[in-house]
Each structure stands twice: as C-alpha cells, then as structure tokens.
Structure 1
Amino acid sequence: MRNYFIGLWKKNAVPYLFLLPWFLGLFVLTLGPMISSLYLSFTDYDLLSPARWAGTANYEKMLNEDARYAQSLKVTLTYVFVSVPLKLAFALAVAMLLNKGLRALHIYRTLYYIPTLLGGSVAIAVMWRQMFGADGLLNGFLYSAFGIEAPDWVSNPKYALYSIIALTVWQFGSSMIIFLAGLKQIPPELYEAAEVDGAGKARRFLSITFPMLSPVMFFNLVIQLIGSFQAFTQAFIISRGTGGPIDSTLFYTLYLYQKGFSQFEMGYASAMAWVLLIIIGFFTAIVFGTSRYWVHYGDGGRS
C-alpha cells in the first residue's frame, strides 16, 4: 500500500505542485477560519481576552433577546426580496432592448456595465448619498421641474432602505450581459415561426424567451440572491455605519460588523455569521429545489 501511494505521488507530483497554492488557500484562508469561527460562535470572546466557552448562549440571545438582530433580519429579507426581482427584471428588459440589433451595441454594453464596475465602491455610495440627500440632485430636479418638495430620502426611515435598493438595481450590468449572451443563443427561427402563427409579443416571451432563457435566469437568480444577503458597503456608507435612521438600513452584515468590530462581541458575531450561512443555504436550496418546475434546457428536458 505504501509503495502504491509513493508511486501515485511520483506520477502526479507536478499537478499536485501546481494545485498546492489552491490547497494552501483552501485550508489556511477558508477552512481554517471557518472552523475557528464555528468554535468561537459557542464562546464569549471580545478579541482582547481568551475565549470562554458559553455553549449555545449566543444563539439563544440572538433568537430570544436581541431585538436589533430581528430588525436586521427583517431589513435584509426586505432588501433581498425587493431588490433581486427588480434588478433581474430591469437587466432582462435592457438586455432584450439591446438584442434588437442596435448600432454600436458594444458602446451601449460598456455604458450599461460601468455602474456594476463602480457600484461596490465607497465613492459611488457617497455620491448616491449626496444625490438622494435633502439638497441632493434628485430633490433639486423634482423641485425645479415639478415644484415638488421631496423628503431627505436617505435620512427618512420610510425611504432610506429603498434608496439603497435603487442603488442596487442601478448596478444591473453583470446580469444584463449574461442575459444578453443567453438571448443571442435563442434561434431567431423560433420567433419567426411564432409570428407566422400569430403569436403576440407576450406569448412569444412566455413560450420562447422565458423557457429558452430559464437556465441563464436560474444562474443570475442564485448569484444575485447570495450576493444580496451579503450586501454591506452601500448600507455602511449611506447610514454612516449606524444602520439608521432608526435601524431602517440595519443590514444583517452591518449589524454583524457592529457586534464584532465595534462592540467586540466576536463570539456573537461568529454565531451570526453561521446563521447567515444557514439562511443563504436555505433560500438557495429552495431555488434549486423548485428549478425543476421552471428551468428548461435545450434538449427539451427539465432540470
């Protein structure tokens, strides 16, 4: 047996050497911190003194005592279930428009993709806060054009979250590019045959575009769902790290950051991180589980 493994190693030594950086990253930067975080989630740890075993106290506090935790979960779920459908719908609409054979298509694709490249930056979040502020560009336009005195969108608890959702929808470029690539794979003969049969635009979309594009839609949905649960920068900058006003923008990740690095409750923050992993896994599993009913592949079968 020993000779077998030695022979196997000699035979595959070069590939394993090339894979070594990836294995180091996996065990040192991913699995190691994950295991450490799992242990810390059962401890009372403040970053300054040794961790003390606390059992399930962090999880019990999270579920039964912490009202701000419940608020952060509510805000995050609202953000996810509003922003993801809007972003995908907007991306698909623009992709279908660009798929009409417009001239200088590459210029339009670049222009629409730029917000995605810049959207996660601190500078864009700061700009967005200024645009939607009381004296911002949006309110200035509404007053000068229509005489409307609009509220301070980022400081009003009724609208603050939706200003962040608007920023997220504005970053539709990556999903749009993927949708556009999928649309170009649909044979135009299908649309021509449907037109001959008298099918309208809505019917052609439901019978041809949606089924043929459903694998791409499935991919975009999973990616955007996971990313939305992890949103942080926009809420941090626009609320100045507080999650305000009145915790209306207290995203889950922002509250986790506050607990871990502002209040030094790293054990509690670790527990929050593991619950977030479970939540993301739960909703991702639902998407995968239901995909068999709406995702269609090119061979005519279903996923």
Structure 2
Amino acid sequence: MTTAAPAAVTAPVPGDPPPRRRRVSRDTVAAWGLLSPNLVVFTVFLFVPLLATVWLSLYSSSGFGPREFVGADNYTELFGDSTFWRATANTGLYALLTVPVSLVIGLGIALAMNRPLRGRGVLRAIYYVPYVISGVVVAVAGRWIFNENVGVVNRLLRSAGLDGVPWQSDAVGAMGSLVLISIWTKIGFVMVVYLAGLQSIPAEYLEAAQTDGAGKWQRLRYIVVPLLKPTTIFLVVLGVIESFQVFDIVYVLTGGGPGNATEMLVTYAYAEGFDARRQGYAATIGVVTYLFIAVLTALWYRRQRAQEADL
C-alpha cells in the first residue's frame, strides 16, 4: 500500500520583496480631492436637473397635482407645433444675423486695440463693459433707445427728416432692435478673444511678409485671418450656442412679439412652462434644444481633435 507524497511547500526565499498591495497614490487622492467640488456641482446643478428634465418631458404636468405619463406624446406634438418651428427659425435667424456681424466688428476693434494707442486699456474696458452687464439691464436700456415714440433712435431719425421705425409693432423692426442690442453686447467678448489670438501670432511672420512687399490687407488676408481660424471657429460655435440660449434680452425687450415674430426656443419654453402651465411640454422643448447644442459641441470638439492630430 503506497502513500501519496505530500505537496511540496515552497518556502519564501530570503531577500524576496513582500507581495505588492494595491495602493492609491497621493497624486490620485489629491486629484480626486481637487476634482470633487466641481464634480459635486456638476452632478447637483447640471446632471441631475438634466435627467429630471428628460423624465418630466415624458409626463403631462401643470406643476400642481399628479402627473400623467404620456410617453413620447409631447415629442410627437412638438414636431407638429408650428409655433415651435417658428421659434426655431427665429433662433436660427437671430444666430445668423448676430454671430457673423459681431465677429467682423469684434475683429476690427481687436486689430485697432492691438496697436500701441494712448488710453488703449480704457478703450478695451469700454468695449468690454456691455458684455458683463446684466442682460436685463441691457434690455431695459434697449427699450428706451428703441422706443417708437420717445426713443433715442427715432428722435434722431425724425430730426433728420426721416420717419421713425416701428420697433415694437413691426416684425422686422422688433427683430432688428433685438439683433442690434445683442451685437452691441457681444463685440466686447469677441474683441478680447481675438486680441488673445492676435498676440499669439509670431511677429516674424508679419515682418517677413512686409519685407516681401505685402500690404496691410494682404497680411490680414493671407496671414492673420488663416492663423485666427481656430479662434474664429471657437467664437462661431460659442456664439451659436449662446443664440440658442438667449432669453433675458428677448423677454424684456420684445417679449417674443409682435405675435411670434421674435419668439425664441427658450422664451417659448418659458411661456409653455409658466404661462400655459404645461411643464412637461416645456421640458420637451428644453430637451430638444439641449440635443441640438450637444450635437454642435460634439462636432466642434471632433474638428478640434482632427486639427490637433494634423499638427
């Protein structure tokens, strides 16, 4: 009768290091400690409200009493809503009118402010102040400037022998006043961003072009504008996103009128949520607007990554 030999026990070799344990480095702890406040703010004030908005868009709710689950009915109604499409078209028109004009004017001011001028810092501050002022204050000033009866603009027009413009009662006039006030508030920020882009252009490029006989417009067209392309793309995307989020200036200056001539997506969502007491439908408008902004941001991010890969 044979007996199986016991399994060999491997004794630890003297001098071998102890088994490595999974430890969290101090850098990782410090990184999470620094990120945690932003993550908490993002979760509480952005991610959770977004999920709540998506959830609310699936219900019919007035804000009082029980909610009724309707599924995708709000979305079906939305895509057949003529007012929603009018608000979408108005928002697109607003972006189409304000973004390019503010970029051109802001670039022109940035080119002027990039030169050694006396009082340049004061001038930069004057141009930037409208951007940091509250939108409500700007809109109240706009109502006084573009008032049909006693407004500054119509008084100047009448003093020149011209007819006043119906800024509040005409669709074109109302949109025009909104666009002009918005451009006035945007050009300061555009100027600051373009100034940063201009100061990052190596002076050797411009000096070499000037030595080769290139004039001011040629240097601007073939050197400055191409090198400012990433800055321009950033400003275009940011301007379009801001256009789809505009609310305070429209609400105070025109109220979306006359009729629905200046109704924007956010003002329409506000009207449906708080005036018509259809909070589920208003949440649906918010979700669709958010999806458009998210797609636009993703396209911009993808383009930026492609440009960085080409460098």
What is the TM-score normalised by the length of structure 2?
0.85
Contact 1:129 1:154 in 2 (8 A): no
Q: How does 1:91-110 map to 2 (within 5 A)?
A: 91-110=106-125
Matched with 1:36 is 52
Is it true that 1:262 corresponds to 2:275 in the alignment? yes
| Structure 1 equivalent of residue 257 of structure 2 | 244
Kept in 1, the 8 Å contact 2:237–2:296? The answer is: no
Contact 1:218 1:291 in 2 (8 A): no
| Alignment pair present for 1:209 and 2:224 | yes
Q: 1:220: how far off?
A: 1.8
Provide the secondary structure at the position in 2 that maps to 1:149: coil
- Is 1:274–2:287 an aligned residue pair? yes
Deviation at 1:265, TM superposition (A): 0.9
| CA–CA distance in structure 2, aligned partners of residues 161 and 69 of structure 1 | 17
Aligned pairs for 1:1-303 within 5 A: 7-8=23-24, 16-64=32-80, 66-118=81-133, 120-134=134-148, 135-144=150-159, 146-171=160-185, 172-239=187-254, 241=255, 243-288=256-301, 302=310
CA distance in 2, matches of 1:249, 1:53: 32
Q: Distance in 2 between matches of 1:264 and 1:9?
A: 53
Deviation at 1:292, TM superposition (A): 8.5
C-alpha RMSD of the superposition: 2.5
3-state DSSP class of the match of 2:51? Answer: helix
Structure 2: segments with no counterpart, 5+ residues: 1-19
Q: 1:109 to 1:76 in 2, by over 3 A?
A: same
Larger radius of gyration: 2
Is the CA contact 1:132–1:138 (under 8 Å) kept in the aligned structure 2? yes
C-alpha distance after superposition, 1:78-105 (max 9, x if no partner): 0011111111111111101111221221
Tell me how far apart the structure 2 counterparts of residues 36 and 57 of structure 1 sit (CA, whole Å). Answer: 17
Q: How many residues align?
A: 290
Structure 1 residues 261 and 113: CA distance shift in structure 2, 3 A: same
1:23 deviates by 2.9
Indicate conservation of the 8 Å contact 2:167/2:174, yes or no: yes
Cα-to-partner distance string for 1:166-218 (whole Å, 9 max, x where unaligned): 11110111110111121122223322222232323332122110122122222
- SS of residue matched to 1:8: coil
Structure 1 stretches lacking a partner, 5+ long: none
The AA in structure 2 aligned to 1:265 is R
Of all paired residues, the percent bearing the same amino acid is 30
Distance 1:4 1:224 in 2: 51
Whole-angstrom distance in 1 between the partners of 2:290 and 2:204:
44
TM-score between the two structures when normalised by the length of structure 1:
0.87
The alpha-carbon distance between structure 1 residues 24 and 163, as it changes in their structure 2 partners (threshold 3 A), is same
Q: Select between 12-21 and 274-283 the one with higher mean Cα deviation.
A: 12-21
Q: CA deviation at 1:18?
A: 4.7
Partner Cα separation in structure 1 for residue 49 and residue 232 of structure 2:
33
Alpha-carbon shift at residue 126 of structure 1 (Å): 0.9
How far residue 51 of structure 1 moved from its aligned partner, in angstroms, is 2.1
Partner of 2:8: none
CA contact (8 A) 1:84 1:225 kept: yes
Q: CA deviation at 1:289?
A: 5.6
Give me the whole-angstrom Cα distance separating, in 2, the residues matched to 1:11 and 1:96. 44
Instruction: State the distance in 2 between where 1:10 and 1:180 align.
Output: 40
Alignment-derived partner of residue 4 in structure 2: none
The 8 Å contact of residues 92 and 176 in structure 1, kept in 2 or not, is answered as: yes
Distance 2:155 2:218 in 1: 42
Structure 1 residue matching 2:77: 3-state secondary structure: helix
